[in-house]
């Protein structure tokens, strides 16, 4: 059975001892970021010092941000009660993959901005797995419980099997009590920038959108309580 984002070596890379080292490294990285040093060379510099694996470096890169970015993102985060009767715009691959990873027992990281992110990485390739249908079922169940009016999924068309995922979403949407459409676009991040009422954990999107919902957190807390989430 395929497991999205599951790595057998994570037990080693994210052991209690390694988490303490990662926490220290994260604090050092964020100290430098808050003084306007660029993220990629900073993560490399600090990670080289600790001799972290690529997996650990990815985790650090996904969980850090500046204090100003954290405050800005939190200020534009909407309460889930604001979903009521709204049209919602979803970064499709972003949300679905995070839930697939949670359902697969893969590693999730809670960032400085309090957002949960996965370590799966898209990299232009995607295929539907067993957990895809369960992820869609949970999305539908959660959004139905919040009485949304309409949902528009944005999928990156260049990613393999994006059309198959579109059809799978539309298949499941027949059982949802809200209108659903799926847009295949060249770049979902660009399509969602400057939008309000979006759902994404992508840092670029969160820094440019007008408002967003932290839906993955709600779904994981309610329906996947045994998900493996690390907070350094």
* Cα–Cα distance measured from residue 206 to residue 189, given in angstroms and rounded to the nearest whole number: 10
Taking the CB of residue 53, how many other CB atoms lie within 10 A of it?
Answer: 16
- Cβ atoms of 114 and 218 within 8 Å: the answer is no
Q: What is the pLDDT of residue 121?
A: 76
Q: How far is residue 156 CA from its own chain's centroid?
A: 15
CATH of 79-230, one of 3.30.1300, 1.10.3470, 3.30.70, 3.40.50: 3.40.50
Supply the pLDDT for residue 1. Answer: 62
pLDDT at residue 30, as a whole number: 99
Q: Where are the domains of the chain?
A: 10-64, 79-230
Q: Give the pLDDT means over successive 10-residue stretches in the chain (232 positions).
A: 87 97 99 98 99 98 98 98 98 98 97 97 86 98 98 98 98 97 98 97 97 98 97 92
- The structure's pTM equals 0.96
**How far apart (Å, rounded) are the C-alpha atoms in residues 91 and 141?**
18
Query: What per-residue confidence (pLDDT) applies to 5?
Result: 86
């Amino acid at each position: 059975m395929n497991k999205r984002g599951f790595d057998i070596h994570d037990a080693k890379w994210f052991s209690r001892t390694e988490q303490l080292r990662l926490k220290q490294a994260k604090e050092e990285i964020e100290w430098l970021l808050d003084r306007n040093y660029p993220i990629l060379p900073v993560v490399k510099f600090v990670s080289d010092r600790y001799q972290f694996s690529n997996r650990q470096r990815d985790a650090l890169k996904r969980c850090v941000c500046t204090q100003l970015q954290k405050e800005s993102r939190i200020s534009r985060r909407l309460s889930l009660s604001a979903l009521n009767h709204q049209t919602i715009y979803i970064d499709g691959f972003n949300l679905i993959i995070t839930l697939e990873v949670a359902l697969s027992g893969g590693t999730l990281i809670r960032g400085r901005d309090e957002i949960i992110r996965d370590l799966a990485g898209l990299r232009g390739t995607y295929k539907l797995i067993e957990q895809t249908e369960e992820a869609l079922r949970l999305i539908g169940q959660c959004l139905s419980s919040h009485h949304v009016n309409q949902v528009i999924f944005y999928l990156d068309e260049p990613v393999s099997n994006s059309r198959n995922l579109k059809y799978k979403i539309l298949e499941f949407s027949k059982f949802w009590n809200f209108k659903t459409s799926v847009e295949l676009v060249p770049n979902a991040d660009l399509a969602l920038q400057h939008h309000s009422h979006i759902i994404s954990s992508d840092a670029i999107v969160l820094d440019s959108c007008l408002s967003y919902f932290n839906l993955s957190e709600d779904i994981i807390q309610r329906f996947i309580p045994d998900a493996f989430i690390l907070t350094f």
